[in-house]
Chain A
Amino acid sequence: MSRAGQFNKTGWLVFGLFLLIWECGSRSSANLQLYIPPISQIIGALSELIFSGLVTTHLLTTVRRFLEGYLLAAVIAVSAGVALGYFRFAHSLLEMLIEFLRPMPSVAIIPVAILLLGIGDSMIVAVTVYASLWPILVNTIDGVRRIEQTLIDTGRTFGLGRRRMLWQIVLPAASPYIVTGLRISLSIALILVTTAEMVAGSKGLGFFILDEERSLHSSNMYAGIILVAVLGYALNHLFIALERQAMQWHRGMGVRETV
């Protein structure tokens, strides 16, 4: 990773070279162009899609589903994680179940979700919630369990009740772990939204990409892929910006910078 704020010249050069090879390679063979159109053509298709508004509803649908699923997962997982981190007994009851479900590739749950919820919005959001839940849950449990007893005792000697103990001590003390979980889940949520849209959607970028592929509009298909990539990039950077703001205290403690 380049140092923060420094312009990575060679990195951009390699990236430019990659685009150039794509462009020239594609133009050199008419056969190949059917499957991999030149990058200039894809950019053209993309701007057309954006200016005509054809892709806007798909983009907005994906963003909405992502936000619904991700935020819902965050609320559920942090609450459950705090409870399970705090109450050892509850955690010991659920530990095996969590360890069994967590490593399972979450996309495998999509058929189950379709059976239960059909192929609408709720299925896609539910699958996203399910997948994003685990990293946040496990990290929150870990973070809460690692809180120093002295910190809890400090709260008690100052006469804090349960509610204030939670908001003023437990959550901030566990927040570096919670944030780590949130960061991991960010990309997982986007993967799941797109995948679920491909499997069973009539809207959204995932659906759009697959639909364009089936209609043999390969430029549009790539344009869709680029949009998802840009969306992921933007969300990631938004997250990092928010994290820097909120976790400034923690970054300063000599913890390795995370991107």
Chain B
Amino acid sequence: MPILEVQRLSKSYRQMGGETTVAVGNISCQVEAGEFVSFVGPSGCGKTTLLMSIAGLIAPTEGKILVKGQEVSGPPANLVLVFQEFNKSLFAWRSVLGNVLFGLDARGKKRREAEGKAKVLIELVGLKGFEKHYPWELSGGMQQRVAIARALAYEPEVLLMDEPFGSLDALTRLELEDALLRLWEELGTTILFITHDIEEAIYLSDRIWVLSRRPSEIIEELRIEFPRPRNQVTTRGQGRFMEIRNQIYKQISNESRHE
């Protein structure tokens, strides 16, 4: 049984004038436990709406979401979302340790046990020594590491990530991609990732769904077979990598020409 199943999901908004915009068309997909899957699509294609619906933060207009076969309404307990805007999502009044403890606390862990676990997670995301710092004392990349540690502290079975590296500079981005892959391999959490960066999606994922423009629908499903652990130089340097990139790029740009 897939750990996460999206069935014929669509979301439309009523605008000020009374017109309805369809943000998410008709999306169905299945994610197996332990997979790393990505949605990739052009900006404004309704990716965030899709992920927010899966996270239970907004109600879909039609369709349903099943987690381990159970239909969910509202935010499911075994699923957590990492936002793109880490600076708005982190708790400025809590230290790094405090932010990570929040995740454990929300999972109902006892303080004593939690403190040890939080420190392990902080070390795992590479922030040892920064436990007492406040988020605003850290760089963007470090802040997003805190947000990831906080999310993992909640011990989700599925981690949803909404363009988590979208606002970081290119080098930090590569660094965090590798950090995320290491965590994923270590913890075995299922990850559903959203990005508009085609290469990032290929580098990270087992499977990619290419989304059309609004209203977004899946126009292609690709299985990425590069061996793991992946490497920023050798994996990205393969000819096959570029082939896949170009294929996805063409699909997305053809899409936009139709408009």
Chain A contact residues, CB within 8 Å of chain B = 148, 150-151, 153-154, 156-160, 164, 168-169, 172-173, 175, 249-250, 252-254
A204 nearest CB across to chain B (Å): 38
Closest Cβ neighbor of A175 among chain B residues = B93
Which of B75, B79, B83, B134 interacts with A150 by CB under 8 Å? B83
Interface status of B203 (Cβ within 8 A of chain A): no
**Are A252 and B83 touching (Cβ within 8 A)?**
no
Does the CB pair A158–B92 fall under 8 Å?
Answer: no
Chain A residues, Cβ within 8 Å of B93 = 172-173, 175, 249-250
Query: Beta-carbon contacts of B88-123 to A below 8 Å, as 1s and 0s?
Result: 110111100000001100100000000000000000
Query: Is residue B175 within 8 Å, beta carbon to beta carbon, of the partner chain?
Result: no
Contact B83 A158 (CB under 8 A): no
Residues of chain B contacted by A172 (CB below 8 angstroms): 91, 93
Decide if the interface of chain B is mainly helix, strand, loop or mixed: loop
The interface of chain B, by Cβ under 8 A from chain A, is 52, 55-57, 75, 77, 79-81, 83, 85, 88-89, 91-94, 102-103, 106, 134, 136-137, 154
**B134 in contact with A252 (CB, 8 Å):** yes
The one of B55, B85, B94 that contacts A157, using a Cβ cutoff of 8 Å: B55
Q: Which residues of A contact B154 (CB under 8 A)?
A: 158
CA separation between A173 and B106, bound complex, in Å?
Answer: 18
Are the C-beta atoms of A249 and B134 separated by less than 8 Å?
yes
B93 to chain A, nearest CB (A): 5
With A and B bound together, what is the CA distance between A247 and B10 in angstroms? Answer: 44
Contacting pair A160 B89 (CB below 8 A)? no
Task: Give the shortest distance, in Å, between B51 (CB) and chain A (any CB).
Answer: 11
Complex CA gap A201/B190 in Å reads: 70
Write out the residue numbers on chain B whose beta carbons fall within 8 Å of the beta carbon of A160.
106
The answer to whether B136 and A158 touch across the interface, beta carbons within 8 angstroms, is: no
Q: Mind listing 28 A-B residue pairs with CB under 8 Å?
A: A150-B83, A151-B89, A151-B91, A153-B57, A153-B83, A154-B83, A156-B56, A156-B57, A156-B75, A157-B55, A157-B57, A157-B75, A157-B79, A157-B80, A157-B81, A158-B80, A159-B75, A164-B106, A168-B102, A172-B91, A172-B93, A175-B93, A249-B94, A250-B92, A250-B93, A252-B134, A252-B137, A253-B136
Are A148 and B88 touching (Cβ within 8 A)? yes
Contact B102 A158 (CB under 8 A): yes
The complex places the Cα of A154 from the Cα of B56 at a distance, in Å, of 12
Which residues does chain A contribute within 8 Å of B56, judged by CB atoms? 156-157
| Bound complex: CA A172 to CA B91 (Å) | 9
Chain A residues, Cβ within 8 Å of B94: 249
Could you tell me the distance between the alpha carbons of A151 and B93 in the complex, rounded to whole angstroms?
A: 12
Q: Select from chain A the residue with minimum beta-carbon distance to B90.
A: A154
Given A154-B89, A157-B80, A252-B137; 5 other pairs, CB 8 A cutoff: A150-B83, A154-B83, A157-B56, A159-B75, A253-B134
Q: Is the CB of B136 within 8 A of A150?
A: no
| Distance, CA A98 to CA B128, complexed state (A) | 50
A125 to chain B, nearest CB (A): 32
Give the distance in Å from the alpha carbon of A159 to the alpha carbon of B121 in the complex.
20
Q: Which residue of A lies closest to B136 (CB)?
A: A253
Contact between A150 and B106, CB atoms less than 8 A apart: no
Say how far A243's CB is from chain B's closest CB, in angstroms.
Answer: 13
* Chain A residues whose C-beta falls within 8 Å of the C-beta of B106 in the assembled complex: 158-160, 164
The interface residues of chain A lying within 8 Å CB-to-CB of B91 are: 151, 169, 172-173
A255 CB to closest chain B CB, in angstroms? 10
Contacting residues, chain B, for A154 (C-beta < 8 A): 83, 89
Known A158-B106, A252-B137; contact A153-B81, beta-carbon cutoff 8 A: yes
Provide the residues of chain B in CB contact with A249, threshold 8 Å: 92-94, 134
Q: Which residues of B contact A173 (CB under 8 A)?
A: 91, 93
Question: Which residue in chain B gives the minimum CB-CB distance to A147?
Answer: B88
Whole-angstrom distance between the alpha carbons of A158 and B83 in the complex?
A: 12
Alpha-carbon gap, A145 to B9, bound state (A): 31
